[in-house]
Amino acid sequence: MLLRAGLPMTESVHFAAEAAGDTFAPLSDALITEIRAGNGLSESLDAVDTAAQPVFDPAYRALIAAGEATGTLDQTLDRLADYLERAEKLATAIRTALIYPAFLLGATVISLLVLLLFVIPRYEILFSGMGTELPFITRLVIGLGDVMQMAAWLVPLLILFGWLYWRQNRHKLEFRIRRDRALLALPFIGPLVQKMVLERCVRILAELVTSKVDLPSALALAADAAGNRIIASDLNDAAARLREGQPLSAALGSSERFPDLFIQLAKVGEESGKLDGMLTHLADIYALDVEAATRRLVTMIEPALILLIGLLMGFIVIAMISAVITVNDLTVL
């Protein structure tokens, strides 16, 4: 918008940085310095970005470079802004949908911990003075409480070790590959993650194709933006097959992770010469699928958690009532 209004690039970056807040100020100063040195925006982004602390997605930089080369930088930035806005709206919708299930799960865990660590031990003291053999279900619940009390100190320790392990290995390639493969293998969650990754990749691919980036390079850049190493590897393999002369549909068809709809629309787009439009349409379909799948998942999680809470609480209540009935029966006798 600022570029279309006729502002120089340096002033546009400065105003955009002011709108973004203080956290972007050092980066904007470095960008302005590079631009004043005679570099284009894409070159300036490359110059201020580092391998240790990457800030700008390679696909975004490629889009900007293509916009500069074709003289359509303002239009390219508009499309990129629209993409980021859609991505943020989708992420916000998913986070909002998961708030209540997360709250419900947290309340369940806290309630069980309070019962097993504080309430059940008091009943154990009461029943132990009776000299009565308690029902099996009561002994089971009391045993669980004893185990929780003995292992209570292990929980924060395990959390600490888990956090340290994640912090130590989160940037290592092997760790990220294992994590991404495990995410895709999860029931219910895995298909949703795959659709989210595909929506992002297809959207970026559509923007790159629209900006006249060659298809093998566009696929490789979409792989960099995937956020999942397993799907990124399949996209890079498809890019390699494209360079060998295979059509896009055949290159994508070699992977089991790309749905038939992706392959068929890519084939139609290639044959009709409207690949960018087909990819944009496909990305819209995946975005709707992600929203619908998230709603379905939340719809399943909420009653499942409520049922689980009811069963667990009912189990504990029955265990305590059984003990009370046993003690009363012995007292009557």
Contact 141, 319 (CB under 8 A): yes
Contact 120, 141 (CB under 8 A): yes
Segment 176-204 shows an average pLDDT of: 87
CA separation, residue 255 to residues 19, 233, 250, 281 (Å): 43, 10, 9, 21
More confident residue, 165 or 42: 165
Alpha carbon distance 162, 287 (integer Å): 33
> Residue 51: what pLDDT?
44
Alpha carbon distance 283, 204 (integer Å): 9
The helix, strand and coil proportions of the chain, stated in percent and rounded to the nearest 5, come to 80, 0, 20
List phi, psi (to 5°) of 51.
-65, -35
Q: Is the pLDDT of residue 136 over 80?
A: yes
Domains and CATH numbers, the chain: 1-56 (no CATH), 87-333 (1.20.81.30)
Q: Predicted confidence band at 9 (pLDDT cuts at 50, 70, 90)?
A: low
Alpha carbon distance 197, 234 (integer Å): 12
- Closest to 44 measured CA to CA, from 22, 69, 16, 64: 64
274 Cα distance to chain centroid: 31
> Residue 5: what pLDDT?
52
- Unique residue bearing structure tokens 């590079």: 34
The amino acid occupying position 33 is: T
Alpha carbon distance 176, 205 (integer Å): 23
Q: Is the pLDDT of residue 239 over 70?
A: yes
Sign of CA dihedral 212, 216, 219, 224: negative
> Residue 240: what pLDDT?
92
Contact 267, 246 (CB under 8 A): no
Contact 265, 282 (CB under 8 A): yes
